[in-house]
Amino acid sequence: MAVIVPGWVRPWSDAARASFRGAGWVVPCLVGGLMMSLPGVNLLGIGYAGLIYRSCLRDEDPVAWPAWSDWKPILRAGLWIVGLLCAIILAGALVGLVPSLFSASRPTFPSPYLWVIVVLIGAFFSPLMIARAFVAGRLHAGFHLRALWRWFDQYFEGYLPQYGLSSALVIVAGVIETTSFVALVHAYSGWLALRHYLASLGTFVVLVLASRVLAGAIRPNAEKL
């Protein structure tokens, strides 16, 4: 009996089948789970997913698993991604200060709300910002807001469903991983350490698949970013 896969889920099933074909994924995945499980070192896990994102955007080898031994581009990709996300958070904080500059009393529009709105908008466009930076090869290219909006206005139909599903899965995986880490810190045991590693491995897999899926949604029009 054939299984009917909804159109908005098909990119995920296709990415999973292509990614886990053969045995070449085993070692990179196990190492990725270890990297994601260590605070600070998880920057490399993020960078690894970013390197896959860049490769898929450039259509270099969409299903390849890069070697962990080539760690410099992995670290660079991680720093670029974290840098862009930190810039979004900083921009939200600065915008949130604006009401206080023009009001001696409590602002009518509370600045924390304004900060959250800016961060959420930035998070929504962050995959496009990262994509533009990777395609251009320059970090500051990701902040060309007019170009980002122009691209989104024309091609949002393919981007929206994949962004929504990717965000939901990454958030769920992140919450599970964070919960397992908190439990491990409060009461260390071999079982809790294993559980945290498995949760981190799950987060790493979700990040890799999300990178492939989002890049696949952006790639047909990536040159117009």
Tens-digit pLDDT string for the chain (225 aa): 445 556 667 888 888 888 888 778 999 999 999 999 998 899 999 999 999 999 888 887 766 788 898 889 999 999 999 999 999 888 877 777 766 666 655 555 556 777 788 888 888 999 999 999 998 888 888 888 888 888 888 888 888 888 999 999 999 999 999 999 999 888 888 899 999 999 999 999 999 999 999 998 888 887 787
**Cβ atoms 215, 225 nearer than 8 A:** no
Tell me how many degrees the CA angle 12-170-78 measures, rounded to the nearest 5: 100
Residue 121 to residue 88: CA distance in whole angstroms: 9
Instruction: Mark out the alpha helices in 20-144 (DSSP H runs).
Output: 26-37, 42-57, 71-101, 111-136
Question: In this structure, what token pair is assigned to residue 5?
Answer: 């896969």
Residue 18 CA from chain centroid, whole number: 20
Listed by start position, the domains of the chain span 25-224
Give the pLDDT score at 199. 95
Instruction: Look up residue 59 and give its amino acid.
Output: D
pTM for the complete prediction? 0.87
Contact (Cβ atoms closer than 8 angstroms) between residue 14 and residue 63: no
- pLDDT on residue 26: 92
Tokens 């949130």 identify what position? 96
Token pair 């409590």: residue: 106
* 205 neighbors 172 (Cβ within 8 angstroms): no
Q: Are 56 and 215 in contact (CB under 8 A)?
A: yes
- Comparing CA positions, the residue from 190, 191, 195, 201 lying closest to residue 179 is 195
Structure tokens at 132: 């533009």
* Six-digit token string for 66: 């890069």
